[in-house]
Amino acid sequence: MAENPSVTNFRNYIRIRTVHPNPDYDACANYLESQAKELGAEFQKIECVPGKPIVLMTLPGRDPTLKSILLNSHTDVVPVFPEHWKYDPFSAHKDEKGNIYGRGTQDMKCVGIQYLEALKRLRKEGAAFLRTIHLTFVPDEETGGDEGMGMFVNTPVFKKMNVGFGLDEGYSNPTEKFFVFYGQRNPLPVMVRCQGQPGHGSQFLPNNAGEKLQKVINRFMEFREKEKNKLSSNKDLRLGDVTTVNLTMLKGGVQFNVIPAELCVGFDVRLAPSVNETEFEKMISVWCEEAGEGVTFEFRRKSVPQVITCIEDGKNPWWDAFSSACKKQNLDIETEIFPASTDSKYIRMLGIPALGFSPINNTPILLHDNNEFLNEETFLRGIEIYETIIPALANLKP
């Protein structure tokens, strides 16, 4: 039985090794250019940073003065450990159940191709859109996004796009339902430095960097436990509603018998939208003061303003159009705060409403995991869903 051409396109996209630390962005851009020609879309390649191309495809609307629709996806994928995979993570192997294995099958090359395939079908049926549709395929999302969408939103090209609403990634739902994300937590990686008196490892030295480090770690982990208990004790809360803290880095020491002059600990912090960042920073300052002299901290990433998209019926026409299209497709949706970080944050910072949505259900959440896969029927169903959602947005009357 011949494979559906949309599935073939998806598998070919997975085979392009846009994996960090050395993504093959050139091969990816060339592939996307061929897809733009097939779609009949205008094509541009913009480099805010040399070697990190942003691909922009445009389908002009009947009234280009109206605010446009942005369909965003990222082209890069996270590193792999091939020894832990059933199949080569860039072979796009399809098993007898129709499961397609490969890095990026869920995060998020599936969505980029689903946009394209849905629009190809709509165009083939003679569909025309009131508003202009832009598709962006951006680099660098998996390393923070600063040199991808983060820079692109400040360019004249983006401003000229006149974006009024954006769609970006979500992730799979293991149940029958579909996740829709209307905001996200703020990633605030923090590094704490504990300085103290160095000396021989046989002594009980005062002003010890190790003792200070222990106090700092205890404070962070106590806070972590409180947030963890808050989530587990309230069935109405989701992961995106609480702040997560995880110890991810430890640095210091030269050899066993030398008490170091400095020890460092790094925490991955994801701040919930309900948490005041200034107050959170003050709390860390108190912890460091309590630990002793010479304990300092710094955030390793610039803070991003917490902006959420209105999802109240009747108060946001973009939401109304999106949710109505979901109802037409009989989708049971769950609205949540995205627990991690996506390029949507850069869109929302500009005051542009945006939703995170990957049309994947009945599928384990495997983004960044070994043996990431997506079933071809789920993938094809996602195209059908976008065939309803995209026109609903692009034909929204002013």
Active site residues: 76, 141
Residues in the chain, overall count: 398
Q: Burial of 79 by CB count in 10 Å (0-12 exposed, 13-18 middle, 19+ buried)?
A: exposed
Cis ω before 305 (30° cut-off from 0): no
Closest C-alpha among 307, 387, 313 to residue 353:
307
Pairing of strands 68-74, 133-138: parallel
d(CA 317, CA 312): 10
| Single-letter amino acid code for the residue at 346 | Y
Contact between 203 and 357 under an 8 Å Cβ cutoff? The reply is no
